[in-house]
Amino acid sequence: MGKICTVWNREFRAFWLSPIAYIIIIAFLALTNFLYFRTFFVEGQASLRAFFDFLPWTFLLILPALTMGQWAEERKTGTIEPLLTLPVTEWQVVLGKYLASVSLLGCILLLTTPLVFSVMKLSSNGIDEGQTLMSYFGALLLGATYLAIGSWVSSFSDNQIVAFILSLAAIAVLLFVGLPFVTFFVEGGFSVLLRNIGLTTHYSSLGRGVLDLRDLLYFGSMIFFFCFLTTRMVESRKWS
* Of positions 29, 76, 170, 209, contacts other proteins by CB under 8 A: 76
CB of 84 to other proteins, least distance (A): 6
Q: Binding to other proteins by residue 1, rule CB under 8 A?
A: no
Q: Are 65 and 24 in contact (CB under 8 A)?
A: yes
Q: Does 49 bind other proteins (CB under 8 A)?
A: no
Query: Residue 85, interface with other proteins (CB under 8 A)?
Result: yes
- Helix locations, 43-159, DSSP H: 49-77, 80-84, 90-110, 113-122, 129-155
Question: To the nearest whole angstrom, how small is the minimum distance from the Cβ of residue 13 to other proteins?
Answer: 8
Q: Residues in contact with other proteins, total (CB under 8 A)?
A: 29
How many C-beta atoms surround the C-beta of residue 13 within 10 A? 10
Q: Among 23, 30, 86, 193, which residue interacts with other proteins (rule: CB under 8 A)?
A: 86
Distance, in Å, from the CA atom of 231 to the CA atom of 93, rounded to the nearest integer, reads 9
Distance CA 126, CA 209 (A): 16
Site string for other proteins, 163-192 (x = CB under 8 A): ------------------------------
What one-letter code names the amino acid at 151?
S
Q: How far is CA 182 from the centre of its chain?
A: 23
**Nearest 5°: CA angle at 235, between 234 and 238?**
115
Asked if 158 interacts with other proteins (CB under 8 A), we say: yes
- The answer to the question of residue 20 lying near other proteins (CB under 8 A) is no
124 scored as a contact of other proteins (CB under 8 A): no
Q: How far apart are CA 127 and CA 209, in angstroms?
A: 12
Does residue 159 belong to the site contacting other proteins (CB under 8 A)?
no
Identified binder of other proteins from the candidate list 44, 87, 188, 189, rule CB under 8 A: 87
The answer to whether residue 237 forms part of the interface with other proteins (CB under 8 A) is: yes
Select from 17, 44, 121, 213 the one that contacts other proteins (CB under 8 A).
17
Smallest CA-to-CA distance from 145 within 228, 44, 224, 235 is with 224
Are the CB atoms for 66 and 104 separated by under 8 Å? yes
Task: Return residues touching other proteins (CB under 8 A).
Answer: 2-3, 6-7, 9-10, 14, 17-18, 75-89, 158, 237-240
